[in-house]
Amino acid sequence: MPRYLIPLLIAALGLAACEKEELRARSVQEFLDNPMLLEAAMLRCQRDRPEMRYDKECINAREAVRVVEAEEDAARRADREAESEEKRRALRRMQEAQDEARRRAAEQERLRQEAEYHAQFGEAPPPQDAQAEELEGNLPGAIVPEDEDEPPGR
């Protein structure tokens, strides 16, 4: 009996070796590292949806697609946020420029009204800035004539 048992065991082992090998399912990270592999797996999984619904490789491929979509969404969100921030800065600069223009216009109007008021009395308006005050100090003053009774040079 052992004589028949050994060839029978060898044949059984040979048949077992010829049986289709079970491939291990690819991981999510493998799909993320190789986008072509992910696309091929998604096509295979989409072709026969009901049969592949619970296949480990299809589940991992769908998870990898979700991860890729989340990364792309985060990148788009960051781009939109940067664009919005730039628009906010531009709007702020524009509003500050408008405020400055309004302030200057109000100051010019005030100076015009003040000059108009002083013109009624025939006087020049007082200087508004420090430089004008310095220049005003350089204007010649009135010259007082010497008394004729006093000797010159005294």
Considering the domain boundaries, does residue 90 fall inside one?
yes
Considering the domain boundaries, does residue 108 fall inside one?
yes
Q: What is the pLDDT of residue 144?
A: 58
Number of domains in the chain: 1
Q: What is the pLDDT of residue 22?
A: 54
Which whole-number Å values give the CA distances from 82 to 50, 71, 87, 89, 94, in the listed order? 43, 17, 9, 11, 18
Considering the domain boundaries, does residue 103 fall inside one?
yes
Residues 6+ apart with CB under 8 A from 87: none
What range does the domain containing 59 cover?
24-123
Contact 58, 41 (CB under 8 A): yes
Considering the domain boundaries, does residue 18 fall inside one?
no
Considering the domain boundaries, does residue 46 fall inside one?
yes
Considering the domain boundaries, does residue 6 fall inside one?
no
Q: What is the pLDDT of residue 146?
A: 66
User: Mean pLDDT for each 10-residue chunk of the chain (154 residues)?
Assistant: 71 66 79 92 87 87 94 96 96 96 96 89 66 58 62 57
